[in-house]
Amino acid sequence: MSLGPLVRNKRVLVLCGAGGVGKTTTAAALGVAAARAGRQVLVLTIDPARRLAEAMGMKDHGPEPTAVPPERLGARGAGRLDVWMLEPGIVFERMVRRLAPSEKAARAVLEHRLYRFLSELITGMQEYAAAEALDGFLASERYELIVLDTPPSRHALDFLEAPGRLSRFLDDRIVSLFGPVEGTRGGRLWMGAQALVARVLGPVFGEGFTRELRDFVGAFGSLFAGIRLHTERLRARLSSPDTAFLLVTSPEAAALREAVFFREALAARELPFAGYILNRSWARDEPLPAPEALRPHAQDSAAVQALEALTRLAADEHARATAHRALLARLAEQSPKGAVTVASPDADAGLEDFEGLVRLGDALVPP
């Protein structure tokens, strides 16, 4: 089984998994492989390790993606690879400016002193920023493939749910309760509801803060229609045949439990699960020769002891490789028809520079 068709044909690859399984490095390696195959690729990552960021030449929270020099790719085609570490502040400011009905309306949000506390006021704002970034890059059509590295799996669920949660929070009926009384709703019932909100919040936060909060949320409410449209569009894109969710796991028990959890979550949301990558395994490695093949050819005690130690090492390697291959087979049996299940070498082994990513990419997607 191969990841080649996914890397060559999909528009979005979303990599999910527990922390510490090499997911971010695997995402980068798949991006490298796709660019070397001739595609225009963006790797969008959340928080890469410093060593990986340095290997890819990634700038910390730059306003634009960083281009990997073409000569480093050794590309077989005319591919391009950009990498970007998500900066929620930059993403959200761009979203506000794009969705606001006017520059004045955008400034009303961005220049409000409560703006910098927005991620605390509205649960899921940072996750929504990640969703918004993905939607924006897809809409720009600058890239043929976007490889998205998500946070550890249970936080990745926040990423998947954030657009819906934010959309529900920004339901125009709720926002209008915080907006100025004048001109929001004409009925006495709604005006009475607004007055009730003011009476409840005023004694708790003070009249000045309550007025600021109402003004700010009211200004933000002008973005509601655009946010709802983006939410629906992104949901459609994540559910489409152009998207594939890959689950990165390892032979560790905790990582496998997270894999099962996330696989069920994807199925419940009817999102396109494309397969497993069993990372940091011996399933694809050639172990030492079988223990019975080792025969002492010398009679001195030192040689005999050395060969006995090597025999024990060979037995351990055979047992580990056999167990990992059995695990890979079980993952394949549990996968739906058409899903891939591949083993990857240790994603961190030997990764000291960009060449390590090239080698890992070639291992995952053979040229």
Count of structural domains, the chain = 2
> Is residue 189 situated within a structural domain?
no
Question: Buried (b) or exposed (e) across 107-146, using 16+ Cβ within 10 A?
Answer: ebbeebebbeebbeebebbbbbbbbbbbbbbbeeeebbbb
For residue 297, pLDDT over 80 is answered with: no
Q: Would strands 40-45 and 145-149 be described as parallel, antiparallel, or unpaired? A: parallel
Share of the chain above pLDDT 90, in %: 23
Which residue type occupies 165? R
> Is residue 357 situated within a structural domain?
yes
Poorest-confidence range of 17-31, 77-91, 120-134? 120-134
- 297 and 270 share a domain? no
- 244 and 310 share a domain? no
- 51 and 103 share a domain? yes
- 163 and 295 share a domain? no
- 18 and 49 share a domain? yes
CA distance 42 to 144: 8
CATH at residue 263: 3.40.50.300
- 115 and 245 share a domain? yes
Poorest-confidence range of 6-15, 28-37, 221-230, 256-265? 221-230
Alpha helices, DSSP H, located in 221-365: 224-239, 253-268, 301-334, 354-364
- 244 and 309 share a domain? no
Q: Which helix (H) or strand (E) holds 169?
A: helix 153-169
- 130 and 63 share a domain? yes
- What's the 3-state SS for 52-102? HHHHHCCCCCCCCCEECCHHHHCCCCCCEEEEEECCHHHHHHHHHHHHCCC
Average pLDDT, the chain: 77
> Is residue 286 situated within a structural domain?
no
- 276 and 295 share a domain? no
> Structure pTM?
0.79
> What is the distance of C-alpha 168 from the center of its chain?
23
- 251 and 311 share a domain? no
Question: Residue 143: which domain range?
Answer: 4-171+240-280+344-364
> Is residue 325 situated within a structural domain?
no
Each residue's pLDDT tens digit, 116-154: 666 555 545 556 667 778 888 998 899 999 999 887 766
Which of 91, 66, 92, 95 is CA-nearest to residue 81?
A: 66
- 315 and 356 share a domain? no
> Is residue 109 situated within a structural domain?
yes
> Is residue 195 situated within a structural domain?
no
> Is residue 328 situated within a structural domain?
no
Q: Which helix (H) or strand (E) holds 17?
A: strand 12-17
For residue 316, pLDDT over 60 is answered with: yes
Phi, psi angles (nearest 5°) of residue 327: -65, -45
Each residue's pLDDT tens digit, 8-19: 999 999 998 888
CA distance 338 to 8: 16
> Is residue 214 situated within a structural domain?
no
CA distance 317 to 281: 11
